[in-house]
Structure 1
Amino acid sequence: MTDKPTQAFDTLQIHAGANPDPATGARQVPIYQTTAYVFRDAEHAAALFNLQEVGYIYSRLTNPTVSALAERIVALEGGVGGICCSSGHAAQIMALFPLMGPGRNIVVSTRLYGGTVTQFSHTIKRFGWSAKFVDFDDTDAVKAAIDDDTRAVFCESIANPGGYITDLDAIAAISNDAGVPLIVDNTSATPYLCNPIKHGATLVVHSTTKYLTGNGTVTGGAVVDSGNFDWSASDKFPSLSTPEDAYHGLNFHAALGPMAFTFHSIAVGLRDLGMTMNPQAAHYTLMGIETLSLRMDKHVANAEKVANWLENDDRIEGVTYAGLKSSPYYDRVKNICPKGAGALFTVAVKGGYDACVKLVDSLELFSHVANLGDTRSLIIHSASTTHRQLTEEQQEAAGAAPNVVRLSIGIEDADDIIADLDQALSKATS
């Protein structure tokens, strides 16, 4: 748990969750490479297992290095509590786990990362859950999709791969009226560019693998709870609002209030699903976050310059970057992402699928990888990779049509990035 932040972002990204080690005085958060923790006595152990006292039991549940990272992300997002886990996909399941049950559904945006589309289209069906995909620019369609079995609404703040900006205020109002939580994936924006909780989100999820770590070294995920949702307002969320048999009838919301979701995610979610982040990964991500604002400012500045250059190039059919004045999302950026539209967008290349493949193979500075948010500029042809498993209709709905490549603009010199794209486009479209 962390108090609402009172310090500036640049200070919190360095200091939140990172006190000097009491045993050694170490200033950087140590890597606590341990599976278990010694109890003071039998009474102490019993209190921990009964959730009467906060502490460390076993690293599948909590670990000091991982807890420090969770506290830092929670502080940056302006939440009350949160957890870290093994990946962004794990974070999505962890966010849904206390909310869902057999026969229940979530209403989700069509503009999502391809892996998320697959997870929601196919994998969650094995739990008896389902997803309804809706264009979130059509708010009437979002309202119509919510029914008595809906338990959450899910979207991305800056959608991957197209960089579309979601009107979080409008979607939050719909979710609130329906009495269901809004879950926002804030991976592409980071809390530096966007604060979904300020726009009405209940839960925020991250793939910490991306911009938060920033160096392409480790995978991880996070879930942050706003603490603003009343889990007892209806009978829709029994895991949080009714007695839990595994804890002698403990009612998480009645006993823990705003921290109900976080404690349930640790005591039940991580205990039983085991989607644990390792302390080494947490350490890398803690170090990465220390420079988050500096990196994001450079990412955005480079993306704006590169996107403007591409939009004016005759070899390009279109650029989806929301920071362009020609984008239908340009005005929305000022409200949702006032510090910039991120550094992720797609480019439609003249010559279609074949030209996209040639472009990818001709680049020298860019790395062709299935990742984003690295300090390095990255490219991928989504239709043949991350979105390959989708139908062409789903690809187009997600912004990953066959004639499109996704760019994740790094923090190199912008002129060098443009020069590399220029020479590769010449080869791809000749």
Structure 2
Amino acid sequence: MTNETSYGFDTLQIHAGARPDPATGARQVPIYQSTAYVFRDAEHAAALFNLQEVGYIYSRLTNPTVAALQERVATLEGGAGAVCCSSGHAAQIMALFPLMGPGLNIVASSRLYGGTMTQFSQTIKRFGWECTFVDFDDLKAVKAAIDENTRAVFCEAIANPGGHITDLDAISAIADDAGIPLIVDNTSATPYLCRPIEHGATLVVHSTTKYLTGNGTVTGGCVVDSGKFDWAANDKFPSLSQPEPAYHGLKFAETFGPLAFTFHGIAIGLRDLGMTMNPQAAHYSLMGIETLSLRMERHVENAKKVAAWLEQDDRIDYVTYAGLESSPYFGLVEKICPRGAGALFTVAVKGGYEACIKLVDSLEIFSHVANLGDTRSLIIHSASTTHRQLTTEQQEAAGAGPNIVRLSIGTEDADDIIADLDQALSKATA
């Protein structure tokens, strides 16, 4: 395709990054199950290794199937480029890797997926990195948390598990004033519902495992580079602005311009961290994205209906779905997620911890799994699973207290989803 930006979302989700295979004419992107690629000659090989020419060397770095997925996700997000990797968690480390160093920190939302909270509060300390968690509804607190050693601001567009929506415009303004990038996890929203780069995000990360693939078959991650951040504007990001010893003093920002972060992610990040996406996973994700808009429309339609029913049920204390007029985030939906508030939210069940456990065990259509964004409706009790490693205070701050279950509403018949919740709630609160 040429001039991809002129096409609509539904067209791009099918065609971006996909071209008939030049060798066979195959219309679907083939699974290039190859470890390495033959160089034309010694000069060609040297040019590739010197980053003087773009091409395929070794599948830890680049693979044609993965490259097609990278182009598709970058196009849908409105980014300059993208790097795919082995999981959403890998994507977060890949996003931070060029920015961070010992003694440096990030400022992150206190409403994040439990695994991300653990990664940021515990694991990154082994690299000498730190994280300060802040309520991103409190803009003054976010601004106050940034200091001279802060190198990024991190949040989710639609927060997991509560479905809270972040005012990305306000947060990006704070990051811009500090001269640091805003990294937005867009997993729960997808680019169909929200395009963070249009709201000032520098980098967008995804767990492609979730809504992008949409069928619960493979894990994967992606980092999308907006191409709009000036990495050489100050001395905070030497990995991108200063000479790189491994490439004879090449400066990524100077050499690659808007694609500096993307090239660094491949040439340094994947080369040394090895968080590679396998081509079969990329193939499944490419196929899943072809129906992204259709699925997300149904997800949102069902979520609205189910959340409204739950809100009126006497067995429920409250529902956190931002698409409800009662939600404090309802006003942000039109600005940040104009096509809908997603299909992920939490429910506070009367009866507390024990009632939540009985609810989970009594459902029939819902699957009890540690995943979200599937075509199937999914449920999990976060306090005993995904957020188990956190303190009670951290669980409450993340919206995952002991009386809370997280629902990921699927694309089944909405009346069947409601009927399943109804019978399970009867057993749970009897």
Band of TM-score, shorter chain = over 0.9
1:157 corresponding residue in structure 2: 157
2:407 corresponding residue in structure 1: 407
Once the two structures are TM-superposed, the CA of residue 3 in structure 1 deviates from its matched residue by 6.9
Q: C-alpha deviations, 1:257-310, integer Å up to 9, x for none?
A: 000000000000000000000000000000000000000000000000000000
Q: 8 Å contact 2:4–2:12 — kept in the other structure?
A: no
1:419 corresponding residue in structure 2: 419
2:242 corresponding residue in structure 1: 242
1:372 corresponding residue in structure 2: 372
Map 1:54-69; keep pairs closer than 5 Å: 54-69=54-69
1:186 corresponding residue in structure 2: 186
TM-score, length basis structure 2: 0.99
2:290 corresponding residue in structure 1: 290
CA distance in 1, matches of 2:233, 2:397: 35
| Counterpart residue type for residue 324 of structure 1 | L
Indicate yes or no: 2:56 matched with 1:43: no
1:306 corresponding residue in structure 2: 306
1:115 corresponding residue in structure 2: 115
CA distance in 2, matches of 1:209, 1:398: 22
CA distance in 2, matches of 1:196, 1:214: 20
Once the two structures are TM-superposed, the CA of residue 4 in structure 1 deviates from its matched residue by 6.6
Once the two structures are TM-superposed, the CA of residue 6 in structure 1 deviates from its matched residue by 1.8
2:261 corresponding residue in structure 1: 261
2:321 corresponding residue in structure 1: 321
Q: C-alpha deviations, 1:61-88, integer Å up to 9, x for none?
A: 0000000000000000000011100000
2:101 corresponding residue in structure 1: 101
1:354 corresponding residue in structure 2: 354
RMSD of aligned Cα (Å): 0.7
Once the two structures are TM-superposed, the CA of residue 138 in structure 1 deviates from its matched residue by 0.3
| Counterpart residue type for residue 17 of structure 1 | G
| Counterpart residue type for residue 345 of structure 1 | F
CA distance in 2, matches of 1:52, 1:228: 22
CA distance in 2, matches of 1:424, 1:14: 39
1:226 corresponding residue in structure 2: 226
CA distance in 1, matches of 2:137, 2:99: 25
TM-score, length basis structure 1: 0.99
CA distance in 2, matches of 1:164, 1:283: 31
Q: C-alpha deviations, 1:312-348, integer Å up to 9, x for none?
A: 0000000000000000000100100000000000000
Q: Secondary structure at the match of 1:5?
A: helix
| Counterpart residue type for residue 22 of structure 2 | P
| Counterpart residue type for residue 326 of structure 1 | S
CA distance in 2, matches of 1:113, 1:3: 36
1:14 corresponding residue in structure 2: 14
CA distance in 2, matches of 1:211, 1:87: 13
CA distance in 2, matches of 1:117, 1:130: 12
Q: 8 Å contact 1:203–1:226 — kept in the other structure?
A: yes
Q: Secondary structure at the match of 2:152?
A: strand
Q: 8 Å contact 1:4–1:80 — kept in the other structure?
A: no
CA distance in 1, matches of 2:3, 2:139: 34
CA distance in 2, matches of 1:57, 1:80: 22
Q: 8 Å contact 1:18–1:28 — kept in the other structure?
A: yes
Q: C-alpha deviations, 1:364-386, integer Å up to 9, x for none?
A: 00000000000000000000000
Structure 1 residues not aligned, in runs of 5+: none
Once the two structures are TM-superposed, the CA of residue 395 in structure 1 deviates from its matched residue by 0.3
Q: Secondary structure at the match of 1:204?
A: strand
Structure 2 residues not aligned, in runs of 5+: none
CA distance in 2, matches of 1:60, 1:270: 7
Following superposition, which runs of at least 4 residues in structure 1 exceed 6 angstroms of deviation?
none
Map 1:78-227; keep pairs closer than 5 Å: 78-227=78-227
| Counterpart residue type for residue 146 of structure 1 | I
CA distance in 2, matches of 1:11, 1:388: 41
| Counterpart residue type for residue 235 of structure 2 | D
CA distance in 2, matches of 1:290, 1:95: 26
1:341 corresponding residue in structure 2: 341
CA distance in 1, matches of 2:292, 2:259: 27
1:52 corresponding residue in structure 2: 52
